[in-house]
């Protein structure tokens, strides 16, 4: 894993988003990923309300907040249907992705790619796609606000290929090659 | 329903208790019933931690705290298996009962008998079996502590039949007739 | 000092009370003394709001809450005039007494008599005048509510004269003379 | 009063600072002014701890946090000696200035210049000396963190004369004339 650049999301289902989001598609914008489990106390009580607050507070900026349901235990209890009820009852409105289950391991794919130690975890990605902050456990609101604002304050990223003049959306980037 | 005396529990499964508890069997002791749903925000954040705290704080008294999982919505997401995971993750140690599902209604049986308006609800039952307090929503810790202590302070109830000298546990009481 | 019975208050000034209160005069009622300093962080943030809440919550009982300003440092900054401004700004309505300054010691008289270790301290006195609880530092609301309710729940105190052998319920006590 | 640029401080005494600070001298750095009174509940409980937290959290940046004691009532109770005791007891380490008393008005000079409505108030000043944020009452930690970080993220201010092409460090600026 490249520790500097955020690996792509692997998602099986989205809530609160009309379309699938990808980090590649969000390049140029700051992204806050909040990794959580719906039955994780530190998530329910602190982390997820904090991420939802950031989603609301920075809604006039180009920050993208993404909740990532990284289930690594109690898979039956935290299935997508249960998550949907949870999102409804807790009135979460940020886009929330279901991390792709791992094969032969309880740890889901994106969680493994990001090297997360558990939940709640936060990953703040800069406009250039690099990881600016990696938090685990309860984080201070003032610090989170400052980290996000610093990421927003950077000038919007101009992707190299675009700067070079191509409009070819089908061309490979250093992140991926789109299928034809 | 007799509004003064607490109706009996109807329970399909117990957690954190080696045996089934009944209000009849607890007569003479004060009982705090905390009705909750595992995906109810006001329960998860306030009510259930408060009930668990009461369970710990009064453990040297004869107060009996009972969590009652009164699922009236999202029944699939809040099934007993999911509740078991919730209890484990939130480290709840008080006895917790699954309220018996209603027939032809989403409201479970004990919840209906108690006339609860929703979750979280608390029902404090005195030593004589009467309802001393009925709360709905967030309740103040100081008030809850005072209500419980007042119920504990009453002299233990002496059941009429016992006073009359019978040890016949199979005899009818004014609450129920045990099946042979 | 008799450790079981609460020593009398020594007070130079009262706020929020039309008359001076004494523990002798309050015998038969439970009393909560909240010892504080207006510039003590643990008092301002936790202890004093908690005592004020108890004053409001139990106002229909015969509990008497007393704030006791036990200044043992920064005497100039915490003079009675400053305390008056503090009481006004923080909207305290419980009776508040200024502890009598000590002679040749920074510790005031009642604070020394009670053997307090610092502020905030709470002393809960039962109907019989005995100390039921002695707390120092931050105390849990639920525990405080329970302690107060237990003290309230006790039967009213039977004055010493009765204990000394008289059964004459019509006799004067040191509190009152009953009409024939 | 120029509403865009922050007026200069008028201060009679400094605590926690070996020298007097001026906004002129801080030009080029972001400055957070926290206006408070030591007997203002909203300051003691929320505003002042928040400012102190910002002082600590951003100590590796060039943000300057300044507490400004803007006494407009109870002047006797909140004199500088009492403030000194307050600062000591509440362990405040940010620089704190005593706002200059007004003449013929209870409102102190800097408070009037800034047009503050009361306490707690916060004024965030950008590197160019302009007021970026003006808050009154309780403010959210996440928002405060974001506002500060945005002010820090701006490139350091380049004074107009320098931009106009002079490298003469001995020339007068619109702020001061250096001695030869």
The pLDDT score that the predictor gives to residue A177 is 46
Q: How far apart are CA A64 and CA A57, in angstroms?
A: 11
Whether C159 has a pLDDT exceeding 50, the answer reads no
Count of beta carbons in the 10 Å neighbourhood of residue D138: 11
- Give domain status of residue A179, yes or no: no
pLDDT band per the 50, 70, 90 thresholds, residue C87: very high
Give the residues across from D69 on adjacent strands: D36, D98
Among B54, B153, B154, the residue with its CB nearest the CB of C142 is B54
Taking Cα atoms as reference points, which of B65, B51, B31, B2 lies closest to residue B157?
B31
Shortest CA distance from B148: residue in chain C: C146
How many independent structural domains does chain C possess? 1
Contact call for A152 and D152, based on CB within 8 A: no
Contacts of D90 in chain C (CB under 8 A): 39, 41
Q: How far apart are CA A55 and CA D16, in angstroms?
A: 38
Q: Which residues contact B123 (CB under 8 A, 6 or more apart)?
A: B6, B32, B33, B35, B114, B116, B131, B133, B134, B135
- Model confidence over B51-78: pLDDT tens digits? 999 999 999 999 999 999 999 999 999 9
pLDDT band per the 50, 70, 90 thresholds, residue B171: very low
The pair of structure tokens assigned to A96 is 């929330």
Asked, as a colleague might, if the bond just before A64 is cis with ω within 30 of 0, I would say no
The pLDDT score that the predictor gives to residue C81 is 97
What does R_g of chain A's alpha carbons equal in angstroms? 16
For C142, what's the count of Cα atoms within 13 Å in the CB-facing half-sphere?
A: 14
Taking the complete model, does pTM exceed 0.90, yes or no? no
Shortest CA distance from B51: residue in chain C: C142
Percent helix, percent strand, percent coil in chain A, to nearest 5: 30, 20, 50
Q: Do residues B23 and B31 touch, judged by C-beta distance below 8 A?
A: yes
The pLDDT score that the predictor gives to residue D168 is 45
The pLDDT score that the predictor gives to residue A73 is 95
- Give domain status of residue A177, yes or no: no
Among B74, B81, B91, the residue with its CB nearest the CB of A77 is B81
pLDDT band per the 50, 70, 90 thresholds, residue D5: very high
Instruction: Give the pLDDT mean for B133-159.
Output: 87
The alpha carbon torsion through C86, C90, C96, C98 (nearest 10 deg) reads: -20
Domain of residue B163: give its range. 11-171
DSSP label at residue B170: T
**A177 phi/psi in degrees, rounded to 5:** -115, 120
The pLDDT score that the predictor gives to residue C164 is 35
pLDDT band per the 50, 70, 90 thresholds, residue B169: very low
Q: How far apart are CA B86 and CA A125, in angstroms?
A: 32
- Give domain status of residue D178, yes or no: no
By percentage, how much of chain B surpasses pLDDT 90?
Answer: 83
The pLDDT score that the predictor gives to residue C178 is 42
- Give domain status of residue C43, yes or no: yes
- Model confidence over D26-65: pLDDT tens digits? 999 999 999 999 999 999 999 999 999 999 999 999 999 9
- Model confidence over C17-28: pLDDT tens digits? 999 999 999 999
- The ipTM of this complex is 0.83
Give the residues across from B98 on adjacent strands: B13, B69
The pLDDT score that the predictor gives to residue B154 is 85
Could you tell me the end-to-end alpha-carbon distance of chain B, in angstroms, rounded to an integer?
A: 26
Instruction: Give the pLDDT mean for C38-57.
Output: 97
Q: What is the pLDDT along chain A (180 residues), one digit of tens a residue?
A: 344 899 999 999 999 999 999 999 999 999 999 999 999 999 999 999 999 999 999 999 999 999 999 999 999 999 999 999 999 999 999 999 999 999 999 999 999 999 999 999 999 999 999 999 999 999 999 999 999 999 999 865 544 443 333 344 444 444 444 454
Shortest CA distance from B84: residue in chain A: A77
By percentage, how much of chain D surpasses pLDDT 70?
Answer: 84
- Give domain status of residue C54, yes or no: yes
Contact call for C54 and B142, based on CB within 8 A: yes
* Burial classification of residue D163, based on how many CB atoms lie within 10 Å of its CB (0-12 exposed, 13-18 middle, 19 or more buried): exposed
Hey, which chains touch B, using 3+ CB pairs under 8 Å?
A: A, C
The pLDDT score that the predictor gives to residue D164 is 36
Considering chain B, what is the average pLDDT of its residues? 88
For D53, what's the count of Cα atoms within 13 Å in the CB-facing half-sphere?
A: 17
CA B20 to mean position of chain CA atoms: 12
CATH at C138? 3.40.30.10
pLDDT band per the 50, 70, 90 thresholds, residue C4: confident
Taking Cα atoms as reference points, which of C70, C40, C145 lies closest to residue B151?
C145
The pLDDT score that the predictor gives to residue C180 is 41
Considering chain D, what is the average pLDDT of its residues? 88
What does R_g of chain B's alpha carbons equal in angstroms? 16
Contacts of A152 in chain D (CB under 8 A): 150
Contact call for C149 and B144, based on CB within 8 A: no
Contacts of D153 in chain A (CB under 8 A): 149-150, 153-154
- Give domain status of residue B1, yes or no: no
- Give domain status of residue D177, yes or no: no
The pLDDT score that the predictor gives to residue A156 is 59
Contacts of D54 in chain A (CB under 8 A): 142
Q: How far apart are CA B158 and CA A125, in angstroms?
A: 67
- Give domain status of residue A122, yes or no: yes
The pLDDT score that the predictor gives to residue D4 is 79
The pLDDT score that the predictor gives to residue C109 is 98
Q: How far apart are CA A46 and CA A42, in angstroms?
A: 6
Residues in chain A: 180
Instruction: Give the pLDDT mean for D103-110.
Output: 97
Could you tell me the end-to-end alpha-carbon distance of chain D, in angstroms, rounded to an integer?
A: 32
Size of interface B-C (CB pairs under 8 A): 60
Q: How far apart are CA B103 and CA B11, in angstroms?
A: 14
Q: List alpha helices for C23-177, DSSP H.
A: 23-26, 41-42, 48-57, 80-89, 109-114, 141-153, 160-163
- Model confidence over B23-44: pLDDT tens digits? 999 999 999 999 999 999 999 9
The pair of structure tokens assigned to B125 is 């039952």
């Amino acid at each position: 894993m490249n520790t500097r650049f955020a690996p792509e999301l692997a998602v099986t289902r989205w809530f609160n988003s009309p379309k699938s989001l990808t980090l590649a598609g969000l390049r140029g914008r700051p992204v806050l990923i909040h990794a959580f489990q719906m039955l994780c106390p530190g998530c329910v009580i602190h982390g997820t309300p904090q991420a939802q607050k950031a989603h609301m507070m920075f809604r006039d900026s180009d920050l993208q907040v993404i909740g990532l349901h990284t289930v690594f235990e109690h898979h039956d209890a935290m299935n997508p249907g249960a998550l949907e009820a949870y999102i409804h009852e807790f009135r979460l409105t940020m886009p929330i992705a279901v991390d792709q289950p791992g094969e032969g391991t309880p740890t889901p794919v994106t969680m493994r790619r990001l090297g997360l130690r558990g939940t709640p975890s936060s990953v703040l990605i800069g406009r250039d796609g690099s990881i600016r902050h990696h938090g685990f456990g309860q984080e201070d609101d003032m610090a989170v606000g400052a980290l996000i604002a610093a990421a927003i304050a950077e000038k919007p990223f101009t992707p190299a290929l675009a700067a070079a003049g191509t409009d070819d959306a089908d061309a490979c980037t250093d992140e991926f090659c789109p299928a034809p």
